[in-house]
Amino acid sequence: MAIIGEIRKHYWLLVAIIGVALLLFVLSDFQRKNGKQTNTIGTVAGEKIAITEFNKRVDENTELQKANSNKGNLSAEENYQVRQQTWNQVVNEIVMNKQYDMLGVSVSVEELDDLIRGKNPHQVIEQSFRDQKTGQFEPKLVTQFLQNLDNPEMVTPENKQRYLQMEKYIKSDRQSTKYNSLITKAFYVPTAFAKRNYNESNTMAQVRIAGIPYQTVSDSAVKVTDADYEKYYAENKYKFKQDKPVRDIDYVLFEPKMSAEDITLLKSNIQKAYDEFMVTTDVAGFVNSTSDNRYDSTWHRRGTFSPNIDSMLFNAPLGQVSQPVEDNGMYRIFKVVDRQAKPDSLKASHILISYAGTPIQTATRTREAASKLADSILNVVQKTPAAFEGIAGTISDDETAKTKLGDLGWFADGAMVPEFNEAVLKGSVGDIKKVETQFGYHIIKVVGKKDPSTKIKVASVDFGMEPGSRTIEAFYNDASNFSATNNTQEKFEKAVKDKGLNLRNAPKLAESDNTIPGLTSAREVVRWSFNEETEKGTVSNVFDVEGTYVVAVLKNKVEKGIIPLEILKEQIKPSVIREKKAEYLLKKVNDQFAKAKDMNAVLQLFPGTKIDTVDVSFASANIPNYGHEAKVTGQIFSAKKAQVVGPIQGEQGVYSFILDNMKEPPATTDFENQKKQMAMYFQSRAGMLSNILQEKADIKDNRLIFY
C-alpha cells in the first residue's frame, strides 16, 4: 500500500516522464528515417512528382489495363508492369512538355477536334468507332458518342474516362509528331560533308597484311600482376561507367515439398472421399464440402480433358465413380452425372440493364426500375428487331459488348452464366427474350447454334498434391536456421557447398527490378538488396516469395559512377591477358624488325601466319579475314606506299602491313544520294532523343521507398 501511495503522490511526474519518453521515441524514429519519409516519389528536371498524383495515374492505367484485357483483377506481375509503364509515361511527359513549351509546340482546340471529328481522324478514333457489321469506320458513331458524353444514362463514367484518356493520347501523339518533324526536317547535310562521306565510303586501300592472332599465345605463357590490372583499369575507366546503381546477389531456395507423412495422409483422405462419393446423393454439396475445387456444372465436349481421362469419362456409365487419377498436379475422383446431345457453340447478342447491387458498380437504378426498362426495350425490339443493335450500342450496361452493338459472337455452351446460357440453349434462332442473372436483366437475341454433339456433366473431387502445414513449417525452420547460422558471406558459401544446395545468382539487379531467376515476384528481395543498411556480405532473413523461402547474400554493391576495380577484376581478366599477349607479340616482332624490317620475317617467327592481299574501306574499318579493326584501318589510310608499317596492336591480334595502292572513287559532282543516306541515318537516331533528354533531366527516382 505504501508503494501505491508514493505512486499517487508522484502521479504528474510519472506522466511527464512517460510523455518525454514518447516524444524522444518519435523524434529518434523521425531522425532515423530522415530523408526517407517523403510524399515525393521522384523528381524530373526539378519538377516533383507527388505520390498521391502518381498513384492516381497508376489506378487509371490499372483500370484501363483491366478493361483492355477483359480482367476483373491483375496479377502481381501485371500490377508491377502497370507501375513501371506509368513511371515511364510521367517521366516522358515532364521531359517532353518542357521541350514543347520551350519551342511552342502545341495542339489547338480546333486541331484536336479535327483529329477526332474531322475528315481524317486519328487512327485511334478510326479503330474505336467502327460499324460492327461492315468493320468500317463510322463517323456518326463519334458524333453520337460525343453528344451523350456527359449523359450518364448513355455513356458510363468508365467509358467517359476511357475516352478522355484517348483524347489525351491523341493530343500527346500529335505533339510528338510535330516535335519529331521539327527535329528531323531541321537536319541539313552540307555538300562538303556529303563529299567526304562519299570518299570515305568508296576509297579502297589495297594492302598486304600479316596478322598474328592473340590465340597464338597460350594464357599460361603470360603472367598477369596486380599492376597490369591497375594499368588496364586506369586506361579504360571510361568503359566502366555505371549509369544506375546495381546489386549482385546469390541466393538459395527452400521449396516445400510433400513429405512421406503428407502423402500417407493424402491417400487416406482420398480413400475416405472415394467411399463417400460412391454413396452420396447430394453430389454438388459433397464436392463443395470436400474438394479443393468447387462443383463445376459446365457441360464438357470431347477433348476437354487429358486424353486418357477424356476417353474414360466419355465411355463411363452415368453415376460411375472413377478410381483416383493424377491430373495436372492433383489427385481427382470423377463421376459422370449427366450426358446429352448439345450444340458445341452458341451465338447471341444482348442488351444488359443492371441495377444497384449487381457487379456492375456504375448501375444506380433500382431492380424494379431496371425490370420496367427491360420490359419496354423488349417490347420495342420484338416489334422492330432492326432496332436491337442501335439500342445495344447506346443503352446497354455491358461496356465490352456495347462497342459491338451487343454482339457476343460465338461462345462455348456453358461459357455464360447459367440463366443466360440456358435461355440461348433452349431458344430458337431469332428468338428475343428477357432473362435475369446476377448482372441484371438481359434482353437476349438468339443468333445461331452449331450442330449438337455428345456432352457430359462431370463432378470431380480434387485433392491438391501440396505439402501440409507441418512440412511447410519444417522448411521455414530450415531456412531460418540456415540464415541465422550462416550469417556471413563466407559461412553462406561454405554451407551451400557442404549441404549441396542449388546456388542461384542474380547479377546486376536494378532498383526497379521485380524478378530474379526462378521467382517472378521477388520485389522484396530486390528492395532488401538496395536498402542502405544492407552492406556487402550481408545475409538476409527469410523471404516468403510465392510460397518459396529465400535466403540471399549481397555479393556486390555498385553505385552510380565508375565501377571499382575489385568488382571488375574477374570481368576484365580476359582483356588484361590480351594486353599482356599484345606486349609479348609486339616485343617479339619489334626485336625481329630491328634486324630487318621485312614482312617475311614475321612468317619465320610465326609459321602459321600468312600475308593476305586485301582491300580495306575507311568507312567500314573491316579487314577481310580479321574483322573490325578501326585502329589498324586508321594507320593504313595514313601510311605511305611501299613501306612496312607495324607492329600495331589491334583488337584481334598484332598486325604489320604494306600499303600497295590507294584506289580513288570515280569523280562525281552529284552527292544527293550521300545526303539522303546521311539524313536517313540521322532521322533513324532521332527516336533516341527522348532517352537523351531523360538522361540530362537529373531524374531522382524514389520508387524504392514506396514499392
The tens digit of pLDDT for each residue in 92-115 reads 999 999 999 999 999 999 999 999
Alpha-carbon gap, residue 161 to 155, rounded angstroms: 10
If you average pLDDT over residues 373-387, what whole number do you get? 91
In this prediction, residues 404-420 reach a mean pLDDT of 86
Query: Does position 397 have pLDDT exceeding 80, yes or no?
Result: yes
Phi/psi at 107 (nearest 5 deg)?
-125, 115
Answer for the pair 525, 516: CB distance below 8 angstroms, yes or no: yes
Lookup result for grid cell 556480405: 537
The fraction of the chain above a pLDDT of 70, given in percent, is: 94
- pLDDT band, residue 30 (cuts 50/70/90): very low
Do 345-450 and 246-257+468-559 fall under one CATH topology?
yes
Query: What pLDDT shows up at residue 600?
Result: 86
Which pLDDT score is estimated for 17?
A: 41
* CATH number, domain 246-257+468-559: 3.10.50
pLDDT band at 15 (very low <50, low <70, confident <90, very high): very low
Rg from Cα positions in the chain: 37
Please compute the mean of the pLDDT values over residues 678-685 and round it to a whole number.
82
How many beta carbons lie within 10 A of that of residue 232, not counting itself?
Answer: 21
Note the pLDDT tens digit of each residue in 137-188.
888 888 888 888 888 777 777 788 888 888 988 999 999 889 888 888 888 8
Residue 617 pairs with which residues in a beta bridge? 204
For 559: left if phi > 0, alpha if psi spans -120 to 50, otherwise beta; the answer is: beta
Is residue 684 a contact partner of residue 696, using CB atoms and an 8 Å limit?
Answer: no
**Average pLDDT, integer, range 59-74:** 80
Mean pLDDT of the chain: 87
Phi and psi at residue 293, in whole multiples of 5°? -120, 145
pLDDT at 65 over 90: no
Assigned architecture for domain 204-218+569-663: Roll (3.10)
Q: pLDDT, tens digit, for every residue of 319-339?
A: 899 999 988 888 999 999 998
C-alpha distances (whole Å) from 282 to each of 90, 165, 274, 394, 461 are: 56, 51, 14, 45, 13
Summarize the confidence of residues 342-362 as an average pLDDT.
87
Question: DSSP of 217-259, one letter per residue?
Answer: S-GGGS---HHHHHHHHHHTGGGGEESS-EEEEEEEEE-----
DSSP 505: E
Q: Considering only residues 230 and 34, tell me which one the structure prediction assigns the higher pLDDT.
A: 230
Q: Which residue has the cell 580495306?
A: 616
Q: Looking at the predicted structure, is the pLDDT value of residue 562 above 80?
A: yes
Helix axes 2-9, 11-32, angle to 10 degrees: 70
Question: Is residue 22's pLDDT more than 80?
Answer: no
- Identify whether the C-beta of residue 255 lies closer than 8 Å to the C-beta of residue 545: no
The pLDDT, as a whole number, for residue 133 is 67
pLDDT single digits (tens) 563-592: 888 888 888 999 999 999 999 999 999 988
Is a pLDDT exceeding 90 seen at residue 699?
Answer: no
With contact defined as beta carbons under 8 Å apart, do 471 and 261 qualify?
yes
Are 578 and 212 within 8 A, CB to CB?
Answer: no
Stretch (H or E) spanning 313: helix 307-315
Work out the end-to-end distance of the chain between its first and last CA atoms, rounded to an integer number of angstroms: 54
Question: Looking at 123-137, 313-327, 458-472, 540-554, which range is the least confident one?
Answer: 123-137
The whole-angstrom separation of Cα 516 and Cα 118 is 49
pLDDT band at 6 (very low <50, low <70, confident <90, very high): very low
Q: What is the pLDDT of residue 33?
A: 40
pLDDT of res. 9: 41
Q: Is the pLDDT of residue 20 over 50?
A: no
Q: From CA 39, how far away is CA 49, in angstroms rounded?
A: 9
pLDDT confidence of residue 24: 41
CA nearest to 85, candidates 114, 60, 110: 60
Average pLDDT over residues 584-612: 87
For the chain, the structural domain boundaries read: 2-32, 109-185, 204-218+569-663, 246-257+468-559, 260-342, 345-450
Helix axes of 489-499 and 469-485: crossing angle, nearest 10 degrees: 130
pLDDT digits (tens, 9 = 90+) for 201-226: 889 999 999 999 998 998 888 999 99
**Please, what is the angle between helix 157-185 and helix 51-69, to 10°?**
100
CB 706 within 8 A of CB 51: yes
> Is the pLDDT score of 82 beyond 80?
yes
Residues 646, 655 contacting (CB under 8 angstroms): yes
**CATH of region 345-450:** 3.10.50.40
Give the C-alpha distances (Å, rounded to integers) separating 325 from 297, 334, 620. Answer: 20, 9, 65
Q: State yes or no: pLDDT of 25 exceeds 90.
A: no
Query: Is it the case that residue 34 has pLDDT exceeding 50?
Result: no
Q: Which residue has the cell 541466393?
A: 251
Tell me, yes or no, if the pTM score tops 0.95.
Answer: no
Element (H, E) at 373: helix 367-383
Residue 1 has what pLDDT? Answer: 33
pLDDT, tens digit, for every residue of 480-499?
A: 999 999 999 999 999 999 99
